[in-house]
Amino acid sequence: MKQTESSTFTVQTGRTVISDETMEYVGILGKLELTQEERQAAKKDMERMLDYIDKLNELDTSGVEPMSHVFSVNNVFREDIVEDRDGGEDTLANAPERRERAFVVPKTVDQ
């Protein structure tokens, strides 16, 4: 790839194609339900974004360890000591629906 093509502000578009099935699948993963219109717009946005992200493929990263944490700090622990108080009221203070001391959700067992 020529240097000019890897310019920051030039994005080649139209390379990534995302299927409707993929959009639906991503919706299931993220628990989002988009209208047909929203989904089309989101699909286009995502295709453009992924085209742009593909820029990373210009970089040779072989032999480079993926870096999750910037600093090499390890072994951050807590001692096993109870600091308990009844957290119930605080826990439930913002519940959209509660019954006594529990959260209420639509029934979870599949019939």
Partner 1 sequence: MKLLSLTAVELGKKIKAGEVTAEEAVLASMDAIEAKEGQVHSFVTIDREGALKQAREVQNKIQEGILTSPLAGVPVAIKDNLCTKGMLTTCSSKILYNFIPTYTAEAVRNLERAGAVILGKTNMDEFAMGSTTETSAYGVTRNPWNTDHVPGGSSGGSCAAVAAEEVCYALGSDTGGSIRQPSSFCGVTGLKPTYGTVSRYGLIAYGSSLDQIGPIAKDVSDCAAILEAIASHDKKDSTSILRKDLDFTSGLTEDVKGMKIGIPRDYLGEGLDAEVKEAVLASAKKLEEQGASVEEFDLSLVEYAIPAYYVIAAAEASSNLERFDGVKYGYRTKEYEGLHNMYKKSRSEGFGTEVKRRIMLGSFVLSSGYYDAYYLKALRTKALIKQAFDRAFAKFDVILGPAAPSTAPKLGESLKDPLKMYLGDIYTVSVNLAGLPAISLPCGLDKKGLPIGLQIIGDCFQEKKIIRAAYAYEQAGTYQRSPLAEQ
Partner 2 sequence: MSKEYETVIGLEVHVELATKTKIFCSCSTAFGSAPNTHTCPVCTGMPGSLPVLNKKVVEHALAVGLATGCKINQYSKFDRKNYFYPDNPQNYQISQLYLPICHDGGIEIETESGKKTIGIHEIHMEEDAGKLVHDDWEEVSLVDYNRSGVPLIEIVSEPDMRSAEEVIAYLEKLRMIIQYLEASDCKMQEGSMRADVNISVREQGAEAFGTRTEMKNIGSFKAIARAIEAETVRQIDLIESGERVVQETRRWNDQQGYSYAMRSKEDAQDYRYFPEPDLLPLVISDAYLQQLKDRQPELQDEKFARYLSEFGLPEYDAKILTSTKKLADLFEDTVKLCGKPKKVSNWLMGETMRLLKEHEMDPEDLGFSPGNFAKVIDLAETGTINGTVAKEVFEQVFTSDIDPEQYVEEHGLKTVNDEGALRDVIAKVIQEHPKSVEDYRGGKEKAIGFLVGQTMKAMKGKADPGIVNKILKEML
Footprint on this chain of partner 2 (rule: CB under 8 A): 25, 28-29, 31, 68-69, 73-84, 86-88, 90-92, 99-110
CA gap 58, 7 in Å, rounded: 11
Residue 101 CB, shortest distance to partner 1, in Å, is: 13
DSSP 18-65: --HHHHHHHHHHHT----HHHHHHHHHHHHHHHHHHGGGGGS--TTPP
17 binds, among partner 1, partner 2, none (CB under 5 to 8 A by kind): none
Work out whether 108 is an interface residue with partner 1 (CB under 8 A): yes
Kindly state whether residue 95 participates in binding partner 1, applying the rule CB under 8 A: yes
